[in-house]
Amino acid sequence: MDYKSEQNDEKEALQAIFEEDFTDLATTPCSFMIKVKDLEVQLSGPVYVKITYRERYPDEAPAIEIPLRSHVLTPQQHADLLGHLKTIAEESVGMAMVFTIVEAARDWINHNVTPDTPDEEKPQDQAEEEPSDFSDLLSSPVDPEVTDSRNTGGRWNFVIGLVGKPSAGKSTFFNAAMAQNQARTAAHPFTTIEPNFGIAYFSVPCPCAKMDHRCEAAYGHNYKGERLVPVLLKDVAGLVPGAADGKGRGNRFLNDLLDADVLIHIIDASGQTDENGEETTGYDPTKDVRWLNIEIHRWIYDNIMNKWESIVKRPLKLLDMFTGYHASRSTIQSAFTAAGIDTRRLVETLPGWDSNVLPKLVTEFIRIRFPMVLGLNKSDRPEAENNIQRIQEAYPNAATMPMSALSECKLQELQKENLLHYRYGEPSFLTDDEYLRPLSSTTVEQLDRIQNNVLAKFGSTNVHNALNLAVSLKSPTFAFPVQDLDTLMSLDHRQKGEVPGVLKDCIVLRPGTTVGHLHTVLVHALELLKGTFVRAEAREINGDKRVVRKDEVIGPSNNVIKIMTSPKSSHS
Ligand SMILES: Nc1nc2c(ncn2[C@@H]2O[C@H](COP(=O)(O)OP(=O)(O)OP(=O)(O)O)[C@@H](O)[C@H]2O)c(=O)[nH]1
Ligand SMILES: [Mg+2]
C-alpha cells in the first residue's frame, strides 16, 4: 500500500471538512491538530486533538495527543479521554480513522464532562484565554531599574537575535550589518535553516570626542565620531504562525532565541509577503507584529502550562521554570513584581490565581527578558510608506526603525565596485567624481529609489541604527580602562599579541557593574590586568582625576578608569 498518498488523501479530506478548525503543523512526520466542535458543555476553552501519522498509518494507529494547554479538562479527564481515543484508534486500524477519533472525543466530552467538575488542581480557567493585546510586550525601553542587571554586574557578551517570518529580510539585514556577505538570502521562504552567527558593530559615544586626545579605538569610529563596539548577531530561521504548536521549524526556532539579549523583529513593511513569507500584495504587516508576539508568548506560556500540575503542588518551581529562558534571578523577580505578584506569598496565592495572572506574568517576563525592536524593512518600496505609519500608530510605545537592508547591501556593493563613494551607515553617497566608474541606467534608477525612498526620508538605511536601538533597550554600560590617566594609554595587550593604544578598549558591562567587578573582569575574563585590587582613579571629562571606590557603580563620570593592583603579582 502507498501509505504516503493514502495519508495525504485523508489529510486533504479533513482539511475540507474541518476548515478553520484544522491546523496543519508539520509535514514530516505529518502532524495536524483539529478543534473539537459541537460540545454541549461550556468549557473554559477549546479542546484540540493532535494527530501524528506513523509511517504505516492506517495499518498502525496514529500518535494521539490532547495538548495540555487544553487544561479545561482535569488531569483525570485528560487521561481517560486519551485512553478512550487510543482504544478507538486501535479498533479502527486498517482504515482512515481521524474523523472517527475527533467525533469520539466530542461524544466522550459530552457524556463525561460537566462544566462544574470540581478540580483543585485546575488553574481556574487559566488555559486558553490569551490576552487580546500584546502591545505591552513592546513598551520600550526597558527601565534599567527593572532589568536583570542590578545584582548581576559583569562583562556582557551582547547578542542580538533577528526574528521574523520567512522572506522578511533577516539574512539580508545580517549581511548588511556584517558589511560582508556571509548569510544566504533568497526570495523563497526558509532559505536559512541553521542559525548564522556573526560579529556586527554598534556605536557608543567615545570619550575622546570631549578630550584632547586622538583615540585608537580597537574597532575604529563611524563617521559621527562614535566608536564601534562588536556585538554578536544571530540570524535564525523564519518563524511562522503556529510555531508554538510545532508549525514550520516550531519550537526549535523559538529555542534558537534563547541566546539573544534583545530581538530585532524584521518585518516586511512593503506588505508584499504574507504571514508564511509567500509573495502577495497588500498584506497588512501589523498582523506580523501581533502573531509573532503571540507565538513567543505561547511558547513560554504553554511550557509552563504543561507543568502546571506539578507547579501547583510546588509553586516555587515556577521561579525555576523561568531560569530555563537564560534569565537571571533578578530578571525573574522583576517580572513577578511588574505583574503585581509577591513571590514571598507564592505558595499560598498561586493555586488560586485568576485566569489573567499567568498570561500577564509571561508578558512582563518577555518584555524584560526579550525587549524588541520592530525593524520596518523594505522601506525602499513605495508600498511601505503607509504600512510604516500604520505600525507606528498601532504600536505607539514600540521601538520602531524604518529601514532597508537591501539598500544597505546595494550601496556597499556599488562602493566595492568603485561606482560610488559610500560608507556603512552614512546618510548619503557620492556619484559625481571623475575617479568613479560610470553607472548604468538601471543602477541610476536603483540609486534614485534608495535616495528618495530611504535616505531622504529616514536619514540612512538605518541598519546600523537598528542595532544601536536594540542595544539601548537593555542599557548596557561601558568602561574604558587605561594604564595612565594622562596619556590615556590602554592596558597592556602583550598577552594577546597586540599593542596598546590610546583609549583602545571599550568593555561592555551590565548596568550596575561596580569598579570591583570591573577589576575581576579585566583580570579573569579579559586577562588585561594582573594582581589584587588596590585602588582606582577615574578621569572626568574636564581632565580632573579622582579616586573611585571599589563599590562605586561604573557610569559616564568614572568610566575612563585606571585600576591599580598589588605590585607583587601585577605585570612588570
Ligand atoms: N526591496 C527590498 N527587498 C528586500 C529588502 N531586504 C530583503 N529583501 C528581499 O527579500 C527577500 C528575502 O530576504 P532574506 O534576507 O532571504 O529573508 P529571510 O528573512 O532571511 O528569509 P528566511 O531565511 O527564508 O527566513 C530577498 O529577495 C531579499 O532581496 C529590502 O530592504 N528591500
Ligand atoms: Mg534567512
Minimal CA–CA distance to 158: which of 524, 473, 409?
473
CA of 157 to the centre of ligand 1 (A): 27
For residues 263 and 94, give the distance between their C-alpha atoms in angstroms, rounded to a whole number: 48
With a cut of 90, say whether residue 391 has pLDDT above it: yes
Please report the pLDDT score of residue 182 as a whole number: 40
Q: Who lines ligand 1 at CB under 6 A? A: 164, 166-172, 185-187, 189-192, 237-238, 277, 377-378, 380-381, 404-407
Please report the pLDDT score of residue 132 as a whole number: 46
Asked if residues 478 and 507 have their Cβ atoms less than 8 Å apart, the reply is: yes
Please report the pLDDT score of residue 27 as a whole number: 82
Return the ligand 1 atom nearest residue 377 CA: 31
**Predicted confidence band of residue 181 (pLDDT cuts 50, 70, 90):** very low
Asked if residues 559 and 207 have their Cβ atoms less than 8 Å apart, the reply is: yes
Terminal Cα-to-Cα distance of the chain (whole angstroms)? 80
Alpha-helical segments (H) within 450-483: 456-458, 463-472
Closest-approaching ligand to the CA atom of 384 = 1
List pLDDT tens digits, range 116-164.
Answer: 443 334 344 443 344 444 666 665 444 443 444 334 567 888 899 999 9
For residues 478 and 210, give the distance between their C-alpha atoms in angstroms, rounded to a whole number: 16
Return the ligand 1 atom nearest residue 175 CA: 15
List pLDDT tens digits, range 35-93.
Answer: 898 887 777 778 889 999 999 999 999 999 887 654 577 777 887 898 899 988 988 88
Question: Can you give 341-358 as a three-state secondary structure string?
Answer: CCHHHHHHHHHHCCCCHH
Return the ligand 1 atom nearest residue 188 CA: 24
Q: Looking at ligand 1, which residue's alpha carbon is closest to its atom 21?
A: 167
Alpha-helical segments (H) within 19-65: none
Domains and CATH numbers, the chain: 3-112 (3.10.110.10), 477-565 (3.10.20)
| Mean pLDDT of the region 185-193 | 50
Please report the pLDDT score of residue 150 as a whole number: 36
401-410, 489-498, 542-551: the lowest-pLDDT one: 489-498
Cell of 203: 556605536
Return the ligand 1 atom nearest residue 192 CA: 23
Mutate to test the pocket of ligand 1, among 278, 281, 388, 406 (most ligand atoms within 8 A of CB): 406
99-108, 196-205, 436-445, 487-496: the lowest-pLDDT one: 487-496
Closest-approaching ligand to the CA atom of 267 = 1
Closest-approaching ligand to the CA atom of 383 = 1
Q: Looking at ligand 1, which residue's alpha carbon is closest to its atom 24?
A: 190
CA of 409 to the centre of ligand 1 (A): 11
| Mean pLDDT of the region 271-280 | 94
Q: Is 311 helix (H, G, I), strand (E, B) or coil?
A: helix
